[in-house]
């Protein structure tokens, strides 16, 4: 799960006496738009996050990078705001804005002093339906995205390998495709593709607006209704069909030699369920706790065994998010100590994974992992951005964020040593793994 953030409001109730004065309100406008308002008074600041349920997983073959390209274009002018004016209008009011695209969603945020909240709502409403997609802006922004791909992926041997690794591990699942798109497909995108995408997904019934900060909820609700209620719903939304957790009966392997790399890198992934998969939802918490015990921090098993006890590696981690719309990869990663044979390191890493299925973790390890997760959640509550992110990330998968907030500590604490053993035995099996190796 989101290491830095999940869970909280009640976390705080359970953990300590004082509670945060967080008052919230959830609305569903008649046009289908979902709205969550949370009052948090620490500073005179407010953040709006506009989440659209569209990401690279919804893209069709040959059109990779379309959602991300559109994200860039969302700053390039509407019927009322000229190109390049968007960020200037916000900066002039002392605000900051940005956006991000993932496989699952596209999210836009604006953060500014509480008394300017109307500006943020007006601008978000304006670009939800009023985007002017122009050839001139598109041409130049497409060049920017190509540079973005060069800097993020093409110039980095680790990222180049990871792109291939995802292809190998995800197979025919849309998560196999790069969010930013392949260079050839970015270059081939047209203004028409963007228009289709925009008209298909940028509608109130495909959006969640989250507002967190110091504000009056009645007043904010009034503004939200004023700007968003008049917008018409889109009748025919279509999202990627979610694929079932795949069965995999033999391990897959990718080995990449790249002369740009100075030190080998080893990664492995297992297909695992997430919170959004109702049938397996109960496994998300054990997987989260398991990832901490196995490979999060200096006292995790991987760090202790691989680095301190056996001297095989200089880094070793495990990772799980649990937030994806579809299933995702539970990952292991490591860098060998210079001179150590990768085969030997790999063998040792898999021994640690097998041990989780063979014997139960100790009570102290389990408690330590749960304490750590819950403490991290309290720390995350110190940031309105992270509160908003968590709500949006849940809502965009049509999950009830409230239940998640209120039940988080209880659900984490409910994970038993048997649960961990069970999910390890079920998902982290040798035949279900995909290994990726990068070496010089």
Partner 1 sequence: MNRRRWQWVGLLLSLWIMGFQLALATERDKIRQFSTTAGAGVILIENHVNPMVEVRILVRGGSAYDPSDRAGVAYMTAWMFNEGAGELNSTTFQERLHYYGISLAANAHQDTLEISMTTLSEHLEEAWTRLGESLTQPRLDPVDFQRGVRERVAELMKSEEEPAFRAGRALYPLIYGDHPYARPVNGNPESIQKITLADIRRHHIAAFRGPGMVIAVAGDVTLEKLQELTTRHLAKLNPLPGQFPPIPQAVTGKKGVAHHIEMDLPQTTLRLGVVGISRDDPDFYAMTVMNQILGGGGLTSRLTNSIREQRGLAYGIFSHFSPLSGRGPFQISTETKTESASEALSLIRQELTQLTRERVGEEELRDVKRYLTGSFPLQLDGLDKLAESWSRIVFYQRGLDYLDKWPERIRAVTQKDVQRVSRRILEIKRFNVVTVGKQKPELANGDDIRP
Per CB under 8 A, 71 contacts partner 1: yes
Phi/psi at 333 (5° precision): -145, 150
Entry field: residues in the chain: 440
* 12 is a contact residue toward partner 1 (CB under 8 A): yes
- Per CB under 8 A, the list member of 79, 88, 343, 410 interacting with partner 1 is 88
User: Which residue in the block uniquely carries the two structure tokens 């990869």?
Assistant: 329
Q: Is 279 a catalytic residue?
A: no
Q: How many CA atoms does the CB half-sphere of 25 hold within 13 Å?
A: 16
Residues 79, 222, 308, 410: which binds partner 1 (CB under 8 A)? 308
Nearest CB to partner 1, comparing residues 335 and 404: 335
CB of 141 to partner 1, least distance (A): 7
CA-CA distance, 384 to 36, in Å (whole number)?
A: 13
> Least Å distance between CB 113 and partner 1?
6
Binding mask 363-392 for partner 1 (x = CB under 8 A): -x--xx--xx-xxx-xx-xxxx--------
Whole-number minimum distance, CB 363 to partner 1, in Å? 12
Q: Which residue among 59, 71, 137, 376 is the active-site one?
A: 71
343 binds partner 1 (CB under 8 A): no
Provide DSSP, 94-139: T-EEEEEE-SS-EEEEEEEEGGGHHHHHHHHHHHHH-B---HHHHH
Report the residue from 24, 25, 27, 156 that binds partner 1 according to the rule CB under 8 A.
156
Q: Which of 7, 77, 95, 204 binds partner 1 (CB under 8 A)?
A: 95
Nearer to partner 1, 151 or 229 (CB): 151
* Interaction between residue 157 and partner 1 (CB under 8 A): yes
Q: How many residues bind partner 1 (CB under 8 A)?
A: 82
> CB under 8 A: which stretch of 124-132, 267-275, 296-304, 395-403 binds partner 1?
296-304
* Long-range pairs, 363-372, Cβ under 8 A, ≥24: 363/417, 365/293, 366/289, 366/293, 366/415, 366/416, 366/417, 366/420, 368/293, 368/299, 369/289, 369/292, 369/293, 369/296, 370/289, 370/412, 370/413, 370/415, 372/292, 372/296, 372/297
**189 vs 118: CA distance, rounded Å:** 34
Binding segment (CB under 8 A) for partner 1, from list 82-90, 124-132, 272-280, 321-329: 82-90
Among 232, 263, 403, 425, binds partner 1 (CB under 8 A): 263
Q: What is the spatial distance between Cα 266 and Cα 27, in angstroms, rounded to a whole number?
A: 46
**Would you count residue 48 as binding partner 1 (CB under 8 A)?**
no
The answer to the question of residue 80 lying near partner 1 (CB under 8 A) is: no
Q: Nearest distance from residue 149's CB to partner 1, in Å?
A: 9
Q: Among 299, 398, 400, 430, indicate the residue that binds partner 1 (CB under 8 A).
A: 299
For partner 1, which residue of 146, 164, 225, 252 counts as binding (CB under 8 A)? 146
CA dist 386 and 312 (Å) reads 36
- Token look-up 């100790």 returns 362
59 binds partner 1 (CB under 8 A): no
Query: How far is Cα 208 from Cα 28, in angstroms, rounded to an integer?
Result: 9
Distance, in Å, from the CA atom of 10 to the CA atom of 410, rounded to the nearest integer, reads 9
Sole residue written with tokens 């760090």: 303
Decide whether 386 or 395 has the Cβ nearer to partner 1. 386
Q: Active-site positions?
A: 71
């Amino acid at each position: 799960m989101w290491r830095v953030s999940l869970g909280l409001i009640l976390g705080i109730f359970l953990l300590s006496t004082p509670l945060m004065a967080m008052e919230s309100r959830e609305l569903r406008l008649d046009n289908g738009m979902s709205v969550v308002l949370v009052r948090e008074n620490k500073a005179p600041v407010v953040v709006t996050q506009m989440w659209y349920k569209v990401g690279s997983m919804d893209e069709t073959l040959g059109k990779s990078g379309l959602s991300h390209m559109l994200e860039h274009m969302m700053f390039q002018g509407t019927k009322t705001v000229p190109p390049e004016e968007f960020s200037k209008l916000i900066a002039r009011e002392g605000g900051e804005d940005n956006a991000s695209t993932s496989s699952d969603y596209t999210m836009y945020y604006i953060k500014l002093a509480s008394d300017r909240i109307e500006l943020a709502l007006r601008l978000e409403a304006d670009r939800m339906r009023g985007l002017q997609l122009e050839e001139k802006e598109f041409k130049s922004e497409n060049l920017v995205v190509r540079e973005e791909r060069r800097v993020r992926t093409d110039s980095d041997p680790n990222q180049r390998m990871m792109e291939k690794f995802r292809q190998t591990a995800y197979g025919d699942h849309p998560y196999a495709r790069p969010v930013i798109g392949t260079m050839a497909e970015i270059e081939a995108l047209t203004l028409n593709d963007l228009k289709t995408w925009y008209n298909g997904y940028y509608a109130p019934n495909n959006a969640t607006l989250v507002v967190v900060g110091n504000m009056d909820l009645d007043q904010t609700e009034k503004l939200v209704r004023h700007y968003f209620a008049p917008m018409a719903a889109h009748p025919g939304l279509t999202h990627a069909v979610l694929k079932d957790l795949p069965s995999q009966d033999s391990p897959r392997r990718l080995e990449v030699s790249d002369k740009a790399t100075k030190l080998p890198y080893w990664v492995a992934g297992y297909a695992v369920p997430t919170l959004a998969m109702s049938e397996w939802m109960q496994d998300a918490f054990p997987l989260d706790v398991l990832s901490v015990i196995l490979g999060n921090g200096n006292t995790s098993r991987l760090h202790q065994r691989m680095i301190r006890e056996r001297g095989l590696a200089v880094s070793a981690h495990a990772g799980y998010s649990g937030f994806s719309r579809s299933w995702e990869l539970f990952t292991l990663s490591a860098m060998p100590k210079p001179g150590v044979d990768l085969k030997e390191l790999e063998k040792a890493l898999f021994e640690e994974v097998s041990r989780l299925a063979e014997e139960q973790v100790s009570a102290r390890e389990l408690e330590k992992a749960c304490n750590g997760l819950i403490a991290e959640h309290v720390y995350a509550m110190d940031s309105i951005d992270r509160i908003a992110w968590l709500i949006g990330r849940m809502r965009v998968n049509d999950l009830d964020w409230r239940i998640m907030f209120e039940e988080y500590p209880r659900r984490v604490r409910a994970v038993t040593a048997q649960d961990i053993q069970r999910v390890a035995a079920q998902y982290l099996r040798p035949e279900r793994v995909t290994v990726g190796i990068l070496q010089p």
